[in-house]
């Protein structure tokens, strides 16, 4: 079984599926290329608010992006919990 999907992994997969460079994708997210690279490789995390903004900027599901960002935070805390997010 593979590794669980991370926020950075989702960004990377989306960027690659759209055939964009780090620079092009970073511009869409209003971040630097280095910041995006750090996110994709798990060296940085994002706030839940920023995850939602990224989803909007990319035309993706906000709840999914927030869930992935929150799941990364839970995993980084060493907690063996699974996060679910539902629209209010």
- The yes-or-no verdict on residue 2 having pLDDT over 80 is no
Domain boundaries, the chain: 7-76
Digit-coded pLDDT (tens) for 32-84:
999 999 999 999 999 999 999 999 999 999 999 999 999 999 999 999 999 99
What residues contact residue 20 under an 8 Å CB cut-off, 6+ apart?
28
Residue 5 backbone zone (phi > 0: left; psi -120 to 50: alpha; other: beta) = beta
State the pLDDT at residue 87: 86
Question: Per CATH, which fold does 7-76 belong to?
Answer: 434 Repressor (Amino-terminal Domain) (1.10.260)
Confidence at residue 88, expressed as pLDDT on a 0 to 100 scale: 85
Q: Is the distance from CB of 44 to CB of 59 less than 8 angstroms?
A: no
Read off the pLDDT band of 85 (50, 70, 90).
Answer: very high
Question: What pLDDT, on the 0 to 100 scale, is given for residue 6?
Answer: 96
């Amino acid at each position: 079984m593979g590794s669980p999907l991370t926020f950075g992994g989702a960004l990377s997969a989306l960027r690659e599926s759209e055939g964009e460079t780090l620079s092009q994708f970073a511009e869409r997210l209003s971040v630097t290329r280095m910041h995006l690279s750090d996110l994709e490789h798990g060296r940085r995390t994002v706030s839940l608010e920023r995850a939602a903004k990224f989803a909007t900027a990319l035309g993706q599901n906000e709840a999914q992006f927030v869930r992935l960002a929150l799941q990364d935070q839970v995993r980084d805390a060493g907690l063996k919990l699974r996060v679910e997010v539902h629209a209010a």
